[in-house]
């Protein structure tokens, strides 16, 4: 039987992901949460693809058990799966500029996917035509901007903290 070795870095990444999920449970501005950052971070640093997708989704599911479920959950989860994929793309291209770009791209993905789902669900009073879809996107702009700020903040915390922890001799020797 093959022994599975788990690195200390894996435990650090896992702890950071679940700490971010807990942050979703405390009061916050609408869409200023760490979940998209967790998905991007997990996709970037979890080498096992199954865990990269599973851990952020399970963290989201666990927090949804407490917060409550809603009609557009499928779209929310699908957007986080897409963001994990974006993180996997980022793995071999990890720079500050690429991380910021991926953070902004994840905000845009989440906004486009979830607002489209909200519009198609009929829960909002928008007509089922292009004008109604545009109304939905315009109404979602404040949440989109909060999402951008939250994603940039939490990605800075997650990616920056991992950098500090894994490069502590270099960072703290100066």
Burial degree of 59 (CB within 10 A; 0-12, 13-18, 19+): buried
48 lies in some domain: yes
1 lies in some domain: no
Range of the domain at 86: 8-172
2 lies in some domain: no
3-state secondary structure of 145: helix
Which pLDDT tens digit goes with each residue over 17-47? 777 777 778 777 777 888 889 899 989 988 8
pLDDT beneath 50, residues of the chain: 171-174
Tell me, rounded to whole angstroms, the distance of Cα 121 from its chain centroid. 23
Tokens matching residue 50:
């199954």
108 lies in some domain: yes
98 lies in some domain: yes
The whole-number pLDDT of residue 105 equals: 97
The whole-number pLDDT of residue 86 equals: 96
Q: pTM for this structure?
A: 0.82
For helices 96-121 and 73-90, angle between their N-to-C axes, nearest 10 degrees: 160
Whether 140 and 75 have beta carbons less than 8 Å apart is answered as no
106 lies in some domain: yes
The whole-number pLDDT of residue 64 equals: 84
The whole-number pLDDT of residue 112 equals: 96
User: Domain tally for the chain?
Assistant: 1
3 lies in some domain: no
CATH number at residue 139: 1.10.1760
């Amino acid at each position: 039987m093959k022994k599975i070795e788990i690195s200390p870095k894996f435990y650090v990444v896992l702890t950071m992901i679940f700490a971010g999920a807990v942050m979703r449970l405390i009061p916050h501005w609408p869409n200023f949460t760490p979940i998209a950052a967790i998905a991007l971070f997990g996709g970037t640093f979890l080498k096992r693809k199954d865990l990269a997708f599973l851990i952020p989704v399970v963290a989201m599911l666990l927090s949804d058990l407490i917060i409550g479920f809603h009609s557009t959950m499928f779209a929310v989860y699908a957007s986080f799966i897409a963001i994990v994929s974006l993180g996997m793309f980022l793995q071999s291209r990890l720079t500050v500029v690429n991380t910021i770009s991926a953070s902004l791209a994840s905000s845009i993905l989440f906004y486009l996917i979830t607002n489209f789902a909200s519009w198609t669900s009929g829960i909002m009073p928008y007509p089922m035509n292009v004008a109604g879809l545009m109304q939905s996107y315009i109404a979602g702009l404040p949440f989109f901007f909060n999402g951008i700020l939250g994603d940039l903040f939490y990605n800075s915390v997650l990616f920056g903290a991992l950098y500090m922890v894994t490069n502590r001799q270099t960072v703290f020797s100066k």
